[in-house]
Structure 1
Amino acid sequence: MQLTRTVRQIAGLTPRPVRPAGWWLDGVLLVATAALTLALANGLFLDTDIAVRDWVDSHRPEAAYWTARVFNFLGQGGWLLMPVAGLLAAALAWRSRSVRPALVFAGGFLITYATIGPMKLLLHRGYPHNEDVAHPERLFSDPTEHAYPSGHVANAIVWYGVITLLLAGLLRHLHRPDVSPAVYRTIRVAPPAIVFCTTTYLGFHWITDSIAGFLLGLLLSRLLSRVPWDDLPLPALPNGFDRPAIFNQPAAPVEKPTPVS
């Protein structure tokens, strides 16, 4: 207990608030992810996965297929979500003259690659239409495939959270009116929900892949949201580039008095 207090005193950091508050939901998400993984490893829910796959395969007309394909691009991390977040981070870093926006981007990158990737590599589940193995729905079925959990869904939840955080900071530094909280909620919720549905509907992932991606992505997003980016200790950088940039409200520009003729 004394060590914990000492570490907190040295760090001097206070986690930022999240909704719902407290760590109870994080614990529920972690336990639920572990429980679902354990259940799948023991053969539970596999019939449900197969039933959902077969149903969507038989209810996918061409128009619905192409519509879902287009909307599924909202979950493309490598060439959509990360570039958008990177551009916002660069714009905010330039406007605020601070490196801290880059830390937000790096945090999103590291937390996804340190969790989602290893799970996929360790559990190597086959994809729904893998015909090379007898039972692709099982965990450890194919060491060449990595369906579980859905990276599309988990990445969408994390990266849209990063995007809204950087966007809010950039609007403040541009001295532009902030958008309503409802807009931010829509950005954070609607694209991941669409990716969840389209990824499953297109048969790219088993339904339990998407559920696990949702649980894990929400957990990671809550962890990132707690980070006090402006208070993280940094070495003194030239020109004050270690200054706060994410949450602070910059001073309004001073208007020069108009000369009286």
Structure 2
Amino acid sequence: MREKTTVRRKLRPAPVRPAGWWFDALLLAGFVAITALLAAGHLLALDLAVSEWAFAHVPAPLYWTARAFNLLGQGGGLLLPLSGGLAVAVAWRRRTVRPFLLVGGAFLITTLTIGPLKLWTDRAAPTASVKEPFLPLDQAVRIFHHQLPPDAYSMSYPSGHVANAIVWYGVIALLLAALTGDRLPVGLYRLVRYAPPAILLVTTTYLNFHWLTDGLAALLLGLLLDRALHRVPWDDLPLPGRLRNWGEPFTRQP
């Protein structure tokens, strides 16, 4: 049995790729730029053109295929239960509570950022033009539209499906790698990590659940949150009391 050490390692941010903070600054600048351009009335024509094309091209097979793939972004119905289940499996296999710290961190970082941004930007979804409150598209597309009717869905920007998928599928990929003893093929790791967000960007736009810029902004925001989450040294965080007996490391990315 390995002897436990009482020496506590100094906490340092875990490495991310690409390394450095310059990429984080680029992602943040991109998100701010898209938001500012939309607020100034730019990019709205692009959103309208993509939305109108999608409304005009909805053959049943393609529509239902997109609806099926869009289920990949169901937070409470898929992402959180799947992440929680994997965390339990990894915790039992590695004798550690640390996977729950990762899942809790993901829940916290997404809850404190994506939801408040949606409330602040106050943008209707494209479908608000075809169902209650039946807004004209040129009204629904506006951002910071604080005069929307009370019954309007006004939480379209940024896309929660896309941003959450980047964070949660990153967590799922990391837990799968830990569960397989770090023998998960790199190709499969990357497929789990990156394919669902890309699929959701396409499907939420095609189904008119979100404007194109909702998804693009969410892509930048999600990558920024994902990098922040993966910078946390989960294996080295100090644990209280008896939890230290269940504090083995578990993270090792391909």
Asked if TM exceeds 0.5, the reply is yes
Structure 2 residue 161 is matched with structure 1 residue 152: yes
Structure 2 residue 176 is matched with structure 1 residue 178: no
Which of 106, 122, 128 lines up with 2:120 in the alignment? 122
Hey, what does 1:237 align to over in structure 2?
A: 242
After TM superposition, give the deviation of residue 97 of structure 1 in Å. 2.1
The one-letter code matched in structure 1 to 2:183 is D
Which of 83, 86, 103 lines up with 2:81 in the alignment? 83
Aligned partners of 2:60, 2:202: CA distance in 1, in Å? 17
After TM superposition, give the deviation of residue 11 of structure 1 in Å. 8.6
After TM superposition, give the deviation of residue 239 of structure 1 in Å. 7.0
Hey, what does 1:32 align to over in structure 2?
A: 30
Residues 123 and 141 of structure 2 are in contact (CA less than 8 Å); yes or no, is this contact kept in structure 1? yes
Aligned partners of 1:223, 1:91: CA distance in 2, in Å? 24
Which of 196, 207, 213 lines up with 2:201 in the alignment? 196
After TM superposition, give the deviation of residue 185 of structure 1 in Å. 0.8
Aligned partners of 1:179, 1:242: CA distance in 2, in Å? 22
After TM superposition, give the deviation of residue 105 of structure 1 in Å. 0.4
Gap change, CA 1:227 and 1:62, over 3 Å in 2: same
Q: How many residues are matched?
A: 235
Aligned partners of 1:246, 1:19: CA distance in 2, in Å? 15
Gap change, CA 1:240 and 1:11, over 3 Å in 2: closer
Residues 162 and 219 of structure 2 are in contact (CA less than 8 Å); yes or no, is this contact kept in structure 1? yes
Structure 2 residue 233 is matched with structure 1 residue 228: yes
Task: Quote the RMSD (CA, aligned, Å).
Answer: 1.8
TM-score, length-scaled by structure 1: 0.85
The one-letter code matched in structure 2 to 1:156 is A
Which of 101, 104, 129 lines up with 1:103 in the alignment? 101
Hey, what does 2:4 align to over in structure 1?
A: none
TM-score, length-scaled by structure 2: 0.88
Which of 55, 58, 74 lines up with 2:56 in the alignment? 58
Hey, what does 2:140 align to over in structure 1?
A: 136
Hey, what does 1:71 align to over in structure 2?
A: 69
Structure 2 residue 93 is matched with structure 1 residue 92: no
Structure 2 gap ranges (5+)? 1-7
Q: Residue deviations 1:83-131, cap 9 Å, x none?
A: 1100000111122222111000001100100100000011110010213
Gap change, CA 1:239 and 1:33, over 3 Å in 2: closer
Aligned partners of 1:223, 1:238: CA distance in 2, in Å? 25
Aligned partners of 1:154, 1:238: CA distance in 2, in Å? 32
Residues 153 and 210 of structure 1 are in contact (CA less than 8 Å); yes or no, is this contact kept in structure 2? yes
Structure 2 residue 14 is matched with structure 1 residue 16: yes
Aligned partners of 2:229, 2:198: CA distance in 1, in Å? 19
The one-letter code matched in structure 1 to 2:239 is L
The one-letter code matched in structure 1 to 2:197 is P
After TM superposition, give the deviation of residue 57 of structure 1 in Å. 1.0
Hey, what does 1:216 align to over in structure 2?
A: 221
Hey, what does 1:165 align to over in structure 2?
A: 174
The one-letter code matched in structure 1 to 2:13 is P
Residues 32 and 215 of structure 1 are in contact (CA less than 8 Å); yes or no, is this contact kept in structure 2? yes
After TM superposition, give the deviation of residue 245 of structure 1 in Å. 3.0
Question: What percentage of aligned pairs have identical amino acids?
Answer: 54
Residues 176 and 184 of structure 2 are in contact (CA less than 8 Å); yes or no, is this contact kept in structure 1? no
The one-letter code matched in structure 1 to 2:55 is D
